[in-house]
Amino acid sequence: MAKGKRAAAMAENRAKLIRAAREAFATQGYADASMDELTAAVGLTRGALYHNFEDKKGLLWAVVEQIDGEMAERLRIVREQAPTLWQGLLAEGSAYIEMALEPEIQRIILLDGPAVLGDPSKWPGENACLDITMRTIRALIEEGVVKPVDVEAAGRLLNGAALSAALWVAAADDPKSVLNKAVDAFRELASGLLRKAV
Amino acid sequence: MAKGKRAAAMAENRAKLIRAAREAFATQGYADASMDELTAAVGLTRGALYHNFEDKKGLLWAVVEQIDGEMAERLRIVREQAPTLWQGLLAEGSAYIEMALEPEIQRIILLDGPAVLGDPSKWPGENACLDITMRTIRALIEEGVVKPVDVEAAGRLLNGAALSAALWVAAADDPKSVLNKAVDAFRELASGLLRKAV
DNA sequence: TCACTCACATACGAGGCGTATGTCAATAGG
DNA sequence: CCTATTGACATACGCCTCGTATGTGAGTGA
């Protein structure tokens, strides 16, 4: 029964490397993160890295997948706690904007990810955040609350608006007041999807 | 009067390097563009590069400034040709989406630029595109066509939506039909800013 | 004509990535 | 219980790239 000993150790090391990579990529950026330092920080060498992952890019893939999954889960919870679908959509947008304030998400998911791995919409897990937004919009159209727009188009543009807002807020000198303006503007834009004005 | 001989040659070489950099950065991406190859392609060495620009990043700055200026000029023309301000705003958005189809703009301005140089809103020239959008929105508010929203917030979110749409279109298998959907959705979202629905 | 400047080339060192090779513990089989 | 094999990881090497320090020759002013 001592069969899983090596597999367990390997999973442990994979997790350690991903944890270290999240830290390094978030603080130094992908390009400036040294694989030697990163692996040494958790008591390993680059040997472990190239054995567990394809290459440096492969490690970024793993990190991105993990963070993306966490974000999707958080958005799901926010949406489900809202009293109506429409308010859920708005809450999702706000939550997304606020999440992008976190340096880890901002740097890895919003900046380096697209630059290194290409268009996020083609990431495996298919950008779980977008998926959730689209599902909500589809339901709202069926409810008759939202105009019969193209679901994917609306979802992507809403996400893009939220993303832009997030980057703006993150770079602002006074994030708090800017955050309010951004969320307000997001709601105004989103209301353009409504069948009739509120 | 043969005073400008060296200065003229220098300006020439600067231009050549920027041209080569636009080509290299657009096709290979910033990280994978070799400065040796890039300079050799125009008959120079890295010596010229580090003399004319601060470093590799400095060359990217120069390229970004040039492209940004061109984009702003194109958007200005589009806006001025529209019959009304509101239609000008929509036309700007569409034009922006279409511009992001160009690999050069997509790769350099939308992907590598933010990742390497940081938040575009803090670029010198202050992101001329955004500036134009904001001016238009301000005018529309004064006309009473648009709700009294925060100008910067609305401008940024609109730009973000357009950018997202552009990346989507660029990565699509069928850019043409996707472009239509994207532009439609953009108009719907933008209409959320209107004082009364159209 | 001569000294000086400066735009650019050349030479050098440091560091990073990817791969080929080595090593030792964990398993499987007899 | 002993041995062979696997596989996870470490070590060592080569190649490339960036940035800088130094060299050089054409242009410039007196």
Model pLDDT for residues B54-68, shown as the tens digit of each residue: 899 999 999 999 999
Nearest nucleotide, CA A30 to C1': C16
Do both B80 and B122 map to the same domain? Answer: yes
Between CA B54 and CA B45 the distance in angstroms is: 15
Question: Which residues of chain B lie closer than 8 angstroms to A168, CB-CB?
Answer: 119, 121, 152-153, 156
Bases of strand D lying below 7 A from some protein CB: 7-12, 16-21, 23, 27-29
Is residue B188 a contact partner of residue A193, using CB atoms and an 8 Å limit? yes
Q: Does B73 fall in a domain? A: yes
Do both A90 and A48 map to the same domain? Answer: no
Q: Is it the case that residue A32 has pLDDT exceeding 70?
A: yes
Q: Write the CATH number for A132.
A: 1.10.357.10
Distant-in-sequence, close-in-space partners of A175: CB < 8 Å, separation ≥ 6:
A101, A169
Burial group, residue B64, by CB count within 10 angstroms (0-12, 13-18, 19+): buried
Measured in residues, chain B has a length of: 198
CA of A5 to C1' of C30 (A): 23
Is residue B117 a contact partner of residue B60, using CB atoms and an 8 Å limit? yes
| Nearest residue to D19 via alpha carbon and C1' | B55
Half-sphere exposure of A129 (CA within 13 A, CB side): 30
How far CA B84 is from CA of A37, B33, B106, B183, in Å, comes to 58, 44, 29, 18
Q: Do B119 and A191 touch (CB under 8 A)?
A: no
Question: Which residues of chain A lie closer than 8 angstroms to B55, CB-CB?
Answer: none
Q: Is it the case that residue A5 has pLDDT exceeding 90?
A: no
Residue A71 domain boundaries: 64-191
Does the CB of A32 have a partner CB in chain B at under 8 Å? no
Between CA A127 and CA A71 the distance in angstroms is: 10
**Domain count across chain A:** 2
How far CA A26 is from CA of A60, A62, A79, B89, in Å, comes to 11, 14, 27, 36
Do both A38 and A83 map to the same domain? Answer: no
Nearest nucleotide, CA B49 to C1': C8
Q: Do A150 and B185 touch (CB under 8 A)?
A: yes
Q: Does B58 fall in a domain? A: no
Do both A39 and A71 map to the same domain? Answer: no
| Nearest residue to D6 via alpha carbon and C1' | A6
Q: Does B184 fall in a domain? A: yes
Q: Does A196 fall in a domain? A: no
Q: Does B59 fall in a domain? A: no
Q: Do A192 and B188 touch (CB under 8 A)?
A: yes
Q: What are phi and psi of B122, to 5 degrees?
A: -105, 10
Q: What are phi and psi of A118, to 5 degrees?
A: 95, -170
Do both A45 and A117 map to the same domain? Answer: no
| CB-CB neighbours of B14 under 10 Å | 17
Better pLDDT: A134 or B127: A134
Name the 3-class secondary structure at B194. strand
Question: Which residues of chain A lie closer than 8 angstroms to B149, CB-CB?
Answer: 184-185, 188
Query: Which has the closest alpha carbon to B50: B64, B36, B65, B63?
Result: B36
Q: Is it the case that residue B1 has pLDDT exceeding 60?
A: no
Between CA B59 and CA A111 the distance in angstroms is: 20
Q: Write the CATH number for A5.
A: 1.10.10
Compute the nearest-CA separation of B76 from chain A (Å): 22
Do both A97 and A22 map to the same domain? Answer: no
Residues 42-101 of B with CB under 8 A from A: none
Do both B107 and B186 map to the same domain? Answer: yes
Q: What is the pLDDT of residues A73-130, one digit of tens each?
A: 999 999 999 999 999 999 999 999 999 889 999 999 988 999 999 888 788 776 778 8
Distant-in-sequence, close-in-space partners of B19: CB < 8 Å, separation ≥ 6:
B42
Nearest nucleotide, CA B16 to C1': C8
Q: Does B197 fall in a domain? A: no
Q: What is the pLDDT of residues A154-193, one digit of tens each?
A: 999 999 999 889 888 888 888 889 999 999 999 999 999 9
DSSP string for residues in A4-71: GHHHHHHHHHHHHHHHHHHHHHHHH-TTT--HHHHHHTTT--HHHHHHHSSSHHHHHHHHHHHHHHHH
Do both B124 and B88 map to the same domain? Answer: yes
Q: What is the pLDDT of residues B80-95, one digit of tens each?
A: 999 999 999 999 999 9
Q: Is it the case that residue A10 has pLDDT exceeding 90?
A: no
Query: Which has the closest alpha carbon to A25: A48, A59, A51?
Result: A59
Do both A98 and A119 map to the same domain? Answer: yes
Between CA B89 and CA B79 the distance in angstroms is: 7
Is residue B191 a contact partner of residue B197, using CB atoms and an 8 Å limit? yes
Residues 149-188 of A with CB under 8 A from B: 149-150, 152-154, 156-165, 167-168, 170-171, 178, 181-182, 184-186, 188
Do both A171 and A88 map to the same domain? Answer: yes
Between CA A75 and CA A89 the distance in angstroms is: 10
Between CA B102 and CA B166 the distance in angstroms is: 10
DSSP string for residues in A115-171: HHH--GGGSTT--HHHHHHHHHHHHHHHHTSB----HHHHHHHHHHHHHHHHHHHHH
Q: Which amino acid is at B21?
A: A
| CB-CB neighbours of B71 under 10 Å | 21
Between CA B190 and CA B8 the distance in angstroms is: 47
Q: Does B8 fall in a domain? A: yes
Compute the nearest-CA separation of A80 from chain B (Å): 24
Compute the nearest-CA separation of A77 from chain B (Å): 25
Q: What is the pLDDT of residues A40-68, one digit of tens each?
A: 999 999 999 999 998 999 999 999 999 99
pLDDT for position A131: 86
Do both A90 and A148 map to the same domain? Answer: yes
Q: Is it the case that residue B78 has pLDDT exceeding 50?
A: yes
Better pLDDT: A122 or B135: B135
Better pLDDT: A38 or B6: A38
Does the CB of B193 have a partner CB in chain A at under 8 Å? yes
- Mean pLDDT to the nearest integer, A124-147: 89
Q: Does B74 fall in a domain? A: yes
Do both B173 and B148 map to the same domain? Answer: yes
Select the residue from B189, B194, B198 to test the A interface by mutation, using most A Cβ atoms within 10 A: B189
pLDDT for position B2: 45
Compute the nearest-CA separation of A3 from chain B (Å): 43
Name the 3-class secondary structure at A124. coil
